Amino acid sequence: MDQNLRFLLKTFRKYYKEEGPIMPPRFARREFGFMFFDKNFMQRHTAFSRVADLGSMLQSKVPSHCYYSTAYYRKPGAPTMEEKEWLGADLIFDLDADHLAGAEKMTYSGMLEQIRKEMANLVDSFLLGDLGFSEEQVQIVFSGGRGYHAHVDLPDVLTLGTHERREIVDYITVKGLNIDWVFPYERTATSTVSMGDGLRSNVKTYRTIPLPDSGGWRLRMRRAFEELVEDICAMEPSDMRRAYPSLSGVQAKTLINMRDELAANREMLFRTNSMVNIRKTTQDRLIDIMQNDVSKRLSGEVDEPVTADIKRLIRLPGSLHGKTGLRVVPLSRTELDDFDPLTDAVPVQYSDEPVQITMRRDYDVTIREERFSLSGTTEVPEYAAVFLIGRKEASIGDGTAPRDGFF
């Protein structure tokens, strides 16, 4: 084990001597898994009947990562999945920086702030909103690394299978949304003409708008449609194209005509909840924008494989993340709003004592509300050294000691 891992092991041991794990509900029915600083594989198929036994294990073996199963088993410590006898699983929603566009160009704190906002939207709009869970039924957890989890362990969801869980993800991520279900067609007779074999009606076909008392995606799309109409009525053609890529190839004169038409009919649109007075070409453009531009902005972000997996291992609250040294922190919805991982997830057991490190590149970071601009060989408080060495931004000492390739 090299000096970097020995340093992390020492600080993790200090933490686990003072802090016990935060056990999930029905922990005796869960499988636990661990990774260690001196091993490159996961130790699985472990079960605990007492909290004290897990606490003793953490103090004696000092794992780099701790996990527990979202699933409940009749025999959680059995050596194979078939022998465990699955009983059910929590409903888990995972958000991680991996899915962020341009994540490689973001700072660590910038990534986490973006993910925090997306988790808040997921919880507010979908878990508490459309799916109807209460705040008490949803537990949010900072992973200690680059994301957040939301857990629901109500009896009604425990026995949902993989297919049902994928359907929930599809709903949140607007996968397969039928735009004709949101804005259905209606037909009305505009006139009657006499033909040789009787009377015939001329029929106009037009889109309808979801009612104000709709729910779910229909209500979400109605509100977004109202904003879209307001936007277009106030925008120049160049602004429309920037805001709504579906209009990128439309000529300025056409966009001005569409703007004028919507401005003249705006009140009627939402009084009648229909586009009956709007030209078909305008209706088609509006629906195209709603389907291709707007619906994606309204959707939530979820890691589908995590939610669909009914035998998943997930990080244990109260444990430490081996690649950051940060604590895995359970949060309420209210606590999420002001949560700052680089302050609130830094264990108090990490000291202010100076530690010599050598940076692998120039690096700026704010930890415990103290800003560091680092390069070369320097000294930082222990709490900063743990994060920087865990993230492989620095090495312990003056950088001359050999390092192995693990971790």
Total structural domains within the chain: 3
- CATH assignment of the domain containing 402: 3.40.5
The pLDDT of residue 405 is 47
Q: With respect to residue 186, please indicate whether it lies within any of the assigned structural domains.
A: no
Same domain assignment for residues 151 and 30: yes
The pLDDT of residue 398 is 85
Whose CA is closest to 367, among 390, 347, 346? Answer: 346
Same domain assignment for residues 69 and 143: yes
Q: Which stretches of the chain score pLDDT less than 50?
A: 403-407
94, 124, 156, 337: which one is catalytic? 94
The pLDDT of residue 191 is 65
90, 96, 153, 309: which one is catalytic? 96
- Give me the half-sphere count of Cα atoms (radius 13 Å) on the Cβ side of residue 327: 23
Same domain assignment for residues 82 and 159: yes
- Burial class for 243, CB neighbours closer than 10 Å (0-12, 13-18, 19+): middle
The pLDDT of residue 407 is 38
Whose CA is closest to 394, among 354, 359, 356, 355? Answer: 359
Same domain assignment for residues 223 and 362: no
Using alpha carbons only, how large is the chain's radius of gyration in Å?
28
Q: With respect to residue 356, please indicate whether it lies within any of the assigned structural domains.
A: yes
Whose CA is closest to 78, among 34, 39, 24, 29? Answer: 29
The pLDDT of residue 100 is 82
Q: With respect to residue 369, please indicate whether it lies within any of the assigned structural domains.
A: yes
90, 153, 303, 309: which one is catalytic? 303
Angle at the Cα of 141 (from 140 to 144), degrees rounded to 5? 155
Same domain assignment for residues 220 and 257: yes
Question: What span, in angstroms and rounded, lies between the C-alpha atoms of 69 and 27?
Answer: 9
Same domain assignment for residues 149 and 24: yes
Same domain assignment for residues 26 and 154: yes
pLDDT in tens, 337-385: 999 999 999 999 999 999 999 999 999 999 999 999 999 999 999 999 9
Q: With respect to residue 132, please indicate whether it lies within any of the assigned structural domains.
A: yes
The pLDDT of residue 63 is 98
Question: What span, in angstroms and rounded, lies between the C-alpha atoms of 117 and 96?
Answer: 12
Whose CA is closest to 143, among 192, 187, 93, 105? Answer: 93
Longest dimension (CA), the chain: 99
> Of 289, 320, 343, which marks where a domain is finished?
343
DSSP string covering 79-120: SSHHHH-EEEE-EEEEEEGGGSTTGGGS-HHHHHHHHHHHHH
Asked if 96 is an active-site residue, the reply is yes
> Of 268, 298, 328, which marks where a domain is finished?
298
Contacts of residue 238, defined as CB under 8 A and 6 or more positions apart, other chains included, come to 252
DSSP 65: E
| Domain extent for 383 | 347-407
How many other C-beta atoms can be found within 10 angstroms of the C-beta atom of residue 88? 17
DSSP 320: B
23: amino acid identity, one letter: M
Angle at the Cα of 403 (from 328 to 62), degrees rounded to 5? 35
Same domain assignment for residues 307 and 294: no
pLDDT in tens, 63-107: 999 999 999 999 999 999 999 999 999 999 999 988 888 888 899
Could you tell me if residue 53 is left (phi over 0), alpha (psi between -120 and 50 degrees) or otherwise beta?
alpha
Q: With respect to residue 53, please indicate whether it lies within any of the assigned structural domains.
A: yes
Asked if 303 is an active-site residue, the reply is yes
Same domain assignment for residues 230 and 275: yes
- Give me the half-sphere count of Cα atoms (radius 13 Å) on the Cβ side of residue 313: 17
The pLDDT of residue 104 is 82
Q: With respect to residue 2, please indicate whether it lies within any of the assigned structural domains.
A: no
Same domain assignment for residues 309 and 283: no
- CATH assignment of the domain containing 135: 3.90.920.10
The pLDDT of residue 140 is 98
In SS3 terms, 215-261 reads as: CHHHHHHHHHHHHHHHHHHHCCHHHHHHHCHHHCCCCHHHHHHHHHH
Q: With respect to residue 115, please indicate whether it lies within any of the assigned structural domains.
A: yes
Q: With respect to residue 4, please indicate whether it lies within any of the assigned structural domains.
A: no
Same domain assignment for residues 60 and 161: yes
Question: What span, in angstroms and rounded, lies between the C-alpha atoms of 295 and 228?
Answer: 12
Same domain assignment for residues 168 and 44: yes
Contacts of residue 267, defined as CB under 8 A and 6 or more positions apart, other chains included, come to none
233: amino acid identity, one letter: C
> 266 by DSSP, 3-state: which?
helix
